[in-house]
Chains A and B, each alone.
Chain A
Amino acid sequence: MADEPFVHPRRDPIKSSVGNVAAQRRRQHAITVAKGRREAVVRTKRLCRAGVSGEADDPVTDGSDMMIDAEQSILEDQTCAAVEELKLSMSYQGKGAVQKRVAALRELRRLLSRSEFPPIEAAIKAGAIPLLVQCLSFGSPEEQLLEAAWCMTNIATGKPEETKALLPALPLLIAHLGEKSSLPVAEQCAWAVGNVAGEGEDLRNILLSQGALPPLARMMLPNKGSTVRTAAWALSNLIKGPDPKAATELIRIAGVVEAILRHLRKADEELATEVAWVVVYLSALSNVATSMLVKIDLLQILVERLGASNSLQLLIPVLRSIGNLVAGDDRIASTVLVTGQQITDFVIPALTKCLKSEHRILKKEAAWVMSNIAAGSVEHKKLVYSSEAVPLLLRLLATAPFDIRKEVAYVLGNLCVSPSEGSGRPHLIADHLVSLVSQGCLPGFIDLVRSADIEAARLGLQFIELVLRGIPNGEGVKLVEKEDGIDAMERFQFHENEELRCMATELVDKYFGEDYGVED
């Protein structure tokens, strides 16, 4: 034991041999590849079954076992063969021609629904698109239309350039959305159009210019569950913007507003979810739509849904719609959410429920909506302040992840100031401020000051200013010091953002300047 047992720590040099790292990486890569293969096997089995079981007319045992583990290349060969078969069947004119064509289409559709990586590229290369377009020609038998549209739906899920290959088919797909088509065909076409619209702005603009919007909108009017759901889903893809024109066009189509209202009021949660997504985009993009939706009492229904549902899928678009409406139209607070009205009493508990949820997005959006309400009149502030939301908000400010904390801070901050006249500093609501600070919200704001997010830091600084100015008897100054606020503000000494640097320096100079502490 002559050697020292004390080991001096040291790190690896930056200049090192490539061999060590490379061998490590190579082995890791080999193991990752094997894991990927395991996953592919499992996924393929699941997706196959999902495809097969979706169709009632096929017996489950139609030889699909052999297909399950087919290599991609085999799948591609089969796809080429299926396209060839389709080509042959198109030129065949004899007896049973329709059945032959439908059978060929169905085979192709099955291949395209089958594996983890559907052989879309192979199908396109083999020349499937012109054949499919031909199958969509007017007057074709319903089953043929359905299968062809289904193939296109699957092709539209592919890579962007594969989706774009469908361009020649779009006019016909849109044509079959019309009232003359049978519902299943129209729905399948809506599905295909929705997939295409989901691909991106360019394709959305093409679809809109070719008139996809009005027929889809009309499909939403009746009370047929699955058709309405598909149409609503396709519409929400189509009006995504960023250009608001489509959203405005949609809301102006006769009957749409009423249909939205009706579905949201009565429909099951699944349908309501898709319709709510339409509302999300309408209210996010179009001022025209927002003001029309406000007029028809939509907010009332959304708030009821928010209170009644426990489905996360539904709650998210509903909550976002409410937020869009409240944020988009300042009159809402004074005209719809009037204090004393039933809806106003209802909205706070519904939002509180969302704040209590385990789901991060839901919490965050609920806080966002609430911050907009708290930005309203003094009455609104009193309403929020005296609700059960406040203890919850205080807890979230202390413990929630950053993005939620930030929204929550806006709510609490808004509760403490009343709207200012002109551009001066906001007026304080002293009793709110004193009580919230006494319940321990200051550290949460000081924490925000320390964050890298400029907006949050500004909010934190603004709140510190309120505390310094608004807590009587100079207690605010002591509190800020006790919670390490000075340290937090001094960090801005070197900050890149000039506004924050000045704000912080000003506060420190004014309240903790040379005279500070002299009288103690």
Chain B
Amino acid sequence: MAMEVTQVLLNAQSVDSTIRKHAEESLRQFQEQNLPVFLLSLSGELAGEDKPVDSRKLAGLILKNALDAKEQHRKYELVQRWLALDVAVKSQIKTCLLQTLPSHVPDARSTASQVIAKVAGIELPQKQWPELIGSLLSNIHQVPAHLKQATLETLGYLCEEVSPDVVDQDQVNKILTAVVQGMNANEGNNDVRLAATRALYNALGFAQANFSNDMERDYIMRVACEATLSPDVKIRQAAFECLVSISSTYYEKLAPYIQDIFNITAKAVREDEEPVALQAIEFWSSICDEEIDILEEYGGDFTADSDVPCYYFIKQALPALVPMLLETLLKQEEDQDQDEGAWNLAMAGGTCLGLVARTVGDDIVPLVMPFIEENITKPDWRQREAATYAFGSILEGPSPDKLTPIVNVALNFMLTALTNDPNSHVKDTTAWTLGRIFEFLHGSTVETPIITPANCQQIITVLLQSMNDAPNVAEKACGALYFLAQGFEDVGSSSAITPYFQEIVKSLLNVTDREDAGESRLRTAAYETLNEVVRCSTDETAPMVLQLIPIIMTKLHQTLEAQKLSSDEREKQNELQGLLCGCLQVIIQKLGASEPTKYAFMQFADQIMSLFLRVFACRNATVHEEAMLAIGALAYATGPDFAKYMTELYKYLEMGLQNFEEYQVCAVTVGVVGDICRALEDKILPFCDGIMTQLLKDLSSNQLHRSVKPPIFSCFGDIALAIGENFEKYLMYAMPMLQSAAELSAHTSGADDEMIEYTNLLRNGILEAYSGIFQGFKNSPKTQLLIPYAPHILQFLDSIYMEKDMDDVVMKTAIGVLGDLADTLGSNAGSLIQQSLSCKDFLNECLSSDDHLIKESAEWAKLAIGRAISV
């Protein structure tokens, strides 16, 4: 029943676009008209040893894409479609796939491996294809090395696709045995050994039980360590990747091996090829990640409640580890600062050094200082750069007490280097280091200030000078200025940089106009720094912030006038529009926060709004998102008068709410609807039918990203608060939605941390909706409309209380809902409330909470319940 598809598949790869398009169209039609035969034909093609390799590869690729997709809902559809296929067809396809594994064509084997894993990913959780793993394992003992290699590759992909809990321990043991045997030094064939090593990487997640058994663990670790010594560089790299993965998955089992691993990694870092050395460094970075997490959990004295104890591997390895990392810093590449994707030994070494500093704190300082002192003044730029980089890397972690005296000495040196060093590499790292100094050692919480009125002027002068340096240096200088400004947040009416405000703004605007501002992300850095300078500015400079508005508006206006752009130019234009909208958002937020500045700002409101409306005409997700955020700030500042913009804005709100694909736009728009509700109150009523329709559609869609759903529920609450009893007509739609979402989110048993976190977000959204609705109806003659919903809401509160996994935010919102329910329904709900668990145990727990917001909500609830019951 299969059809001959070789020629079509070859044509689909033709250089002639007419032939190619025609072939693609035929394939699409074939798929639509008869999926089973289509898939069968593809699998036959893939298995056909006499077929051309190109058609076999494409056949496999199309098969793979018929089984899996990136988008969640599409993936779900494909899985359902496969499961619904006729059993005989599926079994024929699977036979073809398995028959391809012994092929002599490497590409065919590899493609088949991946398709088999995809099918397994669908079928094994359904308890289908039970014989798969057994038949793969039987291949292992076959003679041809290439079959063994293909089988190990398949097992590796399979472990990647399938969750460990659907494979029983007996089979896991057999898979691991096969994989580890394949990795063994006795295995003469390098392809087999490489496939086995890569398979182990994916299979580690299956090895929980085996890692708990001393003998099995010793064996796996020995083989993995031996593989790092293989003559084949790819095997060594893959073996180190296994060790990296083990370091995070099985940290608590590492103690017996850590000394050996140190020796292996140290040798690799010093002597091996770069891809291998990078993974060896990554091993220690990963250990740092683990220990930072554990020590963070230790935290205060009372919560020494970590599941895993800290073994202080980094602390013990410190005297040897730090010199090894410092050596790597001298292995820079000439132009790594211009290349955004660069990653080399020096970069990895410095990154690891930074993590080590965060892990051990003060102890690292005496080990690094001699290196800095020895190298920082050397004639070779590599030495000066490495010394500076080392210094910048250890600024997070050690205590200010330890660092401040050193930084006080170093600061002047750094400023001179940034001005005078002949090498742009050194200047780049120097500016970055200054930024790190300001980020971690400057701010209102730091006891001994690094920045004083005496040195502030010099610092700013040097940084502003560097704005004219090479793009990468100027970009780092912007970063330094960003953190310098941030440190002056919350200092009151005047800060040390206030006198330089105008000069700073002018320099940053000049940078944004530089011809080469597109390089090294310089323009973005300049705008974001300008935003931070504005955000952290004081009242004194408000008039200058006001003057910025026409300048930014003019720039935005210019981008809108540009015509007939190439797609490359358009992309740059869009990026700029996003930055300008972001800048306006910060300015609006800043000036809108106090009465006098808000009043002065309002003269620009009409013009700004008309610019934003024009921006919406350009279709770009980031720009929409930024413009929407700015509009939210504008609505808050404008208040009820914002109504005059609604007629024109409305269609863009609707567009935003319909944007399923770029769900961030949808999420931001939902938030802005909330802002507008608070600004307009009942004046939003004429637009509510449209908005509610759209929100309800969003909720029923399975295409919309789930993260948007909680804010949509909160938005129901915002609308109800704004329009009060007029929400009546939406009750019959909104309440059932809330109710079914509440039922889904009441229980989380068996969910992982991520799912619990999402569930809590969802609960919070639902509860905010209920609060808004109750508060909106308060004192209206229509409160009785809500009585039928009360039993379910109370039940929801009881069940999330009993589930014992809500976070503080949900707790506060939940107890508030109890109060709002009692407050609005009064004696109508008195007896219902008294029967609930929430009004006793839950309320008591909240009343004695340490969190004063929870306590406050609880006290409110107690008062409201008291009244509801007493009447």
> Contact residues of A with B, CB < 8 Å?
1-2, 5-6, 8-15, 17-20, 22-23, 26-27, 29-31, 33-34, 37-38, 41-43, 45-47, 49-50, 53, 69, 71, 73, 311-313, 316, 358-359, 361, 401-403, 450-453, 456, 491, 494
Bound Cα distance A316, B848 (Å)? 9
On whether the beta carbons of B844 and A456 are closer than 8 Å, the reply is: no
Q: Tell me whether A11 and B674 are in contact (CB under 8 A).
A: no
* Interchain CB contact under 8 A, A23 and B582: yes
Residue of B nearest to A450 (CB): B309
- Interface membership of B38, Cβ < 8 A: no
Query: Besides A23-B528, A37-B678, A42-B721, 9 other CB < 8 A contacts?
Result: A1-B107, A11-B285, A14-B354, A18-B475, A27-B626, A34-B671, A46-B857, A491-B309, A494-B316
Are B678 and A494 interface neighbours, CB within 8 A? no
Within 8 Å by CB of A10, from B282, B520, B771, B856, lies B282
CA distance A14 to B582 in the complex (A): 26
Q: Any chain A CB within 8 A of the CB of B102?
A: no
Given known contacts A17-B524, A41-B721, is B674 in contact with A402 (CB within 8 Å)? no
- Bin chain B's interface residue count: 35 or more
B478: A residues at CB distance < 8 A: 18
Taking A14-B393, A402-B305, A494-B316 as contacts, is the C-beta distance between A30 and B625 under 8 angstroms? no
The reply to whether B343 and A45 contact each other, CB–CB distance below 8 Å, is: no
Residue B42 lies at the interface, judged by CB distance under 8 Å to chain A: no
Whole-angstrom distance between the alpha carbons of A15 and B428 in the complex? Answer: 10
Closest to B820 in A: A46
Most buried by A among B303, B524, B528: B528
Interface residues of B in 464-488 (CB under 8 A from A): 475, 478-479, 482-483
Write the nearest CB–CB distance from A20 to chain B, whole angstroms. Answer: 8
In the bound complex, residues from chain B placing their C-beta under 8 Å from that of A71 are 595
B633 nearest CB neighbor, chain A only = A30
**Interface residue B624 (Cβ < 8 Å from any Cβ of A):** no
Task: Check if B823 sits within 8 Å of A49, measured CB to CB.
Answer: yes
Chain B residues numbered 837-871 whose CB sits less than 8 Å from any CB in chain A:
841, 844-845, 847-848, 856-857, 860, 863-864, 867
Contact status A37-B110, CB under 8 Å: no
Task: Tell me if B531 counts as interface (CB < 8 A to partner A).
Answer: yes
Chain A CB within 8 A of B114 CB:
yes
In the assembled complex, which residues on chain A have CB atoms less than 8 Å from the CB atom of B520? 17
Please determine whether A452 and B524 come into contact, CB atoms closer than 8 angstroms: no
- Assess the A313–B844 pair: CB atoms within 8 A: yes
Q: Is B532 an interface residue (CB 8 A)?
A: yes
In the complex the two chains form, is A27's CB within 8 Å of B625's CB? yes
A453 B860 Cβ-Cβ under 8 A = no
Question: Which residues 60-81 in B have Cβ within 8 Å of A in the complex?
Answer: 60-61
When C-beta atoms are compared, the residue in chain A nearest to B721 turns out to be A41
Task: Digitize B284-324: 1 where CB-to-A-CB distance is under 8 Å, 0 elsewhere.
Answer: 01000000000000100111110001111000100000000
B586 interface residue, CB < 8 Å from A?
yes
Closest to B579 in A: A23
A5 CA / B681 CA spacing, docked (Å):
55
Shortest beta-carbon distance from B855 to chain A in Å: 11
Pair B589/A452 contact, Cβ less than 8 Å:
no
| A18 B304 Cβ-Cβ under 8 A | no
Give 27 pairs: A residue, B residue, CB < 8 Å, sorted on A: A1-B110, A2-B107, A6-B198, A10-B278, A15-B429, A17-B475, A17-B479, A17-B520, A18-B478, A18-B479, A20-B521, A22-B528, A23-B528, A27-B629, A34-B636, A45-B775, A46-B816, A46-B857, A47-B860, A49-B823, A53-B867, A311-B844, A312-B845, A358-B804, A359-B848, A402-B302, A451-B304
Q: Which residues of B lie under 8 Å from residue A33 when comparing CB positions?
A: 589, 633
Indicate if the CB atoms of A19 and B241 lie closer than 8 Å.
no
- Which B residues are in CB contact (< 8 Å) with A37? 636, 675, 678
CB distance from A450 to the nearest CB of B (A): 4
Q: Is the CB of A402 within 8 A of B303?
A: yes
Chain A interface secondary structure, helix, strand, loop or mixed?
helix
Q: Which residues of B contact A452 (CB under 8 A)?
A: 298, 304, 310
Q: Does B760 contact A (CB under 8 A)?
A: no
A26 near B282: Cβ-Cβ < 8 Å:
no
Task: Report if A313-B354 is in contact (Cβ < 8 Å); known contacts: A18-B479, A50-B860.
Answer: no
Determine the distance from Cα of A401 to Cα of B582 in the docked complex, in whole angstroms: 45
A18-B525, A22-B528, A50-B863 given; A9·B351 CB < 8 A: no
**Interchain CB contact under 8 A, B241 and A8:** yes
Which residue of B has the minimal Cβ distance to A27?
A: B629
In the bound complex, what is the Cα–Cα distance between A312 and B842 (angstroms)? 10
B193 at the A/B interface (Cβ < 8 Å)?
no
Query: In the docked arrangement, what's the CA distance between A30 and B631, Å?
Result: 11
Please tell me if the beta carbons of B302 and A403 are within 8 angstroms of each other in the complex: yes
A5/B114 in contact, CB under 8 A: yes
**In this complex, what residue of B is CB-closest to A65?**
B779
Given that A23-B528, A456-B304 are known contacts, is A9 also in contact with B241, CB under 8 Å in the complex? yes
CB neighbours (8 Å) of A53 from chain B are 863, 867
A312 touching B110, Cβ below 8 Å:
no
Q: Which residues of A contact B626 (CB under 8 A)?
A: 27
B867-A30 in contact (CB<8A): no
Q: Is the CB of B823 within 8 A of A18?
A: no
User: Whose C-beta in chain B lies nearest to the C-beta of A454?
Assistant: B301
Contact partners of B864 in chain A: CB under 8 A: 49
In the assembled complex, which residues on chain B have CB atoms less than 8 Å from the CB atom of A34?
632, 636, 671, 674-675
| Chain A residue at minimum C-beta to C-beta distance from B632 | A34
Q: How far is the CB of B318 from chain A (nearest CB, A)?
A: 12
Contact across chains for B305 and A9 when beta carbons are under 8 A apart:
no
Residue of A17, A20, A53 with most chain B CB atoms under a 10 A cut-off: A17
Shortest CB distance B443–A (Å): 15
* Min CB–CB distance A54 → chain B (angstroms): 8
What sequence of 0s and 1s flags, for each residue 490-529 of chain B, a beta carbon within 8 Å of any chain A beta carbon?
Answer: 0000000000000000000000000000001100110011
B369 CB to closest chain A CB (Å) equals 19
CA distance A11 to B577 in the complex (A): 30
A22-B536 Cα distance, complex, nearest whole Å:
14
Cβ-closest chain A residue relative to B523:
A19
Q: How far is the CA of A311 from the CA of B244 in the complex (A)?
A: 52
Whole-angstrom distance from the CB of B506 to the nearest CB of chain A?
A: 20
Set of chain A residues within 8 Å of B524, measured between Cβ atoms: 17, 19-20, 23
* A26–B531 touching, CB < 8 Å: yes
Chain B, Cβ-Cβ closest to A31 = B671
Report chain B residues within 8 Å CB of A361.
848
User: Scoring B residues 662 to 690 as 1 if CB is less than 8 Å from chain A, else 0, what string do you get?
Assistant: 00000010010011001001000000000
In the complex, what distance in Å separates the CA atom of A302 from the CA atom of B804? 30
B671 CB contacts on chain A under 8 angstroms? 31, 34
Q: Are B589 and A453 in contact (CB under 8 A)?
A: no
